[in-house]
Amino acid sequence: MDVRIYYEDTDAGGVVYHANYIKYLERARTEYFRSRGFLVAELARNGFVFPVVRLEIDFKAPALHDDLLSVTTCPVRVGGSSVTLCQKIVRQDDGKLLAEGFVTLACTSPALKARRIPPEIRRMLEAELEQVV
């Protein structure tokens, strides 16, 4: 997923505010699932939500006003009711890695009771996990 950095994303020095990276990662996760046929709103209507239960980010270099970034997402661990994804934010013009994060999502009911990941999502994640290894 591509992200353009606008003035509103930055501080007075033109550097992206650190909390905005979390927004970019969230959008990329949503688009990751959407591009594979799984709409977050539809999953919720069917009783499956995926709250973040752990997030770890390493900031490597700053993103700046007007940068065009690429955010990638790939699974690194699939459990019975959770999945851990690796996400990377790279500046497109020079390929520099700006941030890398690992996010763990739990599969729950809307009432936040743990549920098993739906089989069709599990199959997709496991197939992609095999490609990564």
**Residue 109 and residue 47 in contact, taking contact as beta carbons nearer than 8 Å:** yes
Contacts of 14 (CB under 8 A, 6+ apart): 64, 65
Catalytic residue among 2, 9, 11, 66: 11
> DSSP letters of 50-83?
--EEEEEEEE-S--BTT-EEEEEEEEEEE-SSEE
Q: Active-site residue 2, yes or no? A: no
Q: Which residues are marked as active site?
A: 11
